[in-house]
Amino acid sequence: MVALNELHPATGAKKTKKRVGRGIGSGLGKTCGRGHKGQHARSGGYHKVGFEGGQMPLQRRLPKFGFKTLKSLSRQEIRLSTLEKIDAEEITFQVLRDKGVINASIKDVKVFLDKPIEKSISLSGLKVSAGAKKAIEAAGGKVEE
């Protein structure tokens, strides 16, 4: 067990304050560690992050690329073979959520064809690709949008 008189802060947790302007012997007298003249020596004289002295900054020299829409976080694609495994007569958005096929953050679902199905299923309230619609109707199911 640790005694109260042995407690001390972790190494690096407490830094000693830099006392400037306390004579030549301290190493931080006169100019206080700022050197002579120039922007860095002045009061309030500093530039923004990424400033390269007037040269075109790196973040502006490089080309812009890429874009990820936030809608992709709330949309999901589902394969027809996944719907075939669900044991429900009519598949709706709520059924998919209850069965754990989609999570709570998903707000939009679209069904795509990956392979033909044998089971007759009926979809309502879901977006369906043209190929998936043909496959569902060929298996004896129906699609209501």
H-assigned helices in 3-139: 58-61, 80-85, 93-98, 130-138
Q: Which residues contact 21 (CB under 8 A, 6 or more apart)?
A: 28, 29, 30, 32
Structural domains of the chain, ranges and CATH numbers in brackets: 18-55 (no CATH), 70-144 (3.100.10.10)
**pLDDT tens string 3-12:** 999 999 999 9
**Full-model pTM:** 0.54
CA nearest 20: which of 30, 31, 32?
A: 32
pLDDT of 134 above 90: yes
Give residue 114's pLDDT band: very low, low, confident or very high (50, 70, 90): very high
**pLDDT tens string 25-71:** 999 999 999 999 988 899 988 888 999 989 999 999 999 999 988 98
